[in-house]
Amino acid sequence: MKPEIDYTLYLVTDRELMSADTIEECVEQAVAGGCTVVQLREKTASSREFYQMAVKVRELTTRLKTPLVINDRADIALAVNADGVHIGQEDLPYNEVRRVIGADKIIGVSVSNLPEAQTAADMGADYLGVGAMFPTGTKTEANLTSMEELQRIREKIDIPIVVIGGINKNTIPLFKGTGIDGIAVVSAVVSQKDPASAARELKLLFQDV
């Protein structure tokens, strides 16, 4: 049975940007402020480092009753019994990830346009990460997705949509009326002096969208 996920405020980790001393402290503060799902995304970590972080974060998210998604690594998601995996266009294909992790885990797919979104939905993706919506330091090479393209995706695709890329308190109001299910945040929470307070403010802003 797949877990029920509230995608409202989707935290994506980045050790290089975080203000907290440890990734567990960062995640705990973010969840205390209202983050509803956590994606562990640590591109520069070795496999062993990533696994060790995943074990600690999984213990924490289990205690906090918050879903944990692992970026790219189906093997690590299985090893720590995470709730799912998030994959990009250049990662292991959806069908292979599903074969590895089984039917009871969620799979999210990063897309930037309607054809990618349609393909992901047709394959059985549980949710879409759409973007990058705005320029962002965490993904400098990303192609930007226009608001018009986001609207086209929303009109055609009925699975949950989470927007990512440059999402912060200034850009959240721009999504009013788009019908999205959540916002994915990185530096707008993890880089802040008080991640809990930052998450709380962002969640309140999104509730008005």
Residue 39's SS3 state is strand
Residue 123's SS3 state is helix
Of residues 41, 73, 154, 203, which has the active-site annotation? Answer: 41
Instruction: Decide if 139 is catalytic.
Output: yes
Of residues 56, 139, 152, 169, which has the active-site annotation? Answer: 139
Contact 209, 175 (CB under 8 A): yes
Of residues 58, 105, 110, 112, which has the active-site annotation? Answer: 110
| Alpha-carbon span 176 to 153, nearest angstrom | 16
Instruction: Decide if 154 is catalytic.
Output: no
Torsion of the alpha carbons at 67, 73, 77 and 83, rounded to the nearest 10: 30
**Judging by DSSP bridges, how do beta strands 84-87 and 68-71 pair with one another?**
parallel
Instruction: Decide if 99 is catalytic.
Output: no
Instruction: List active site positions.
Output: 41, 110, 139
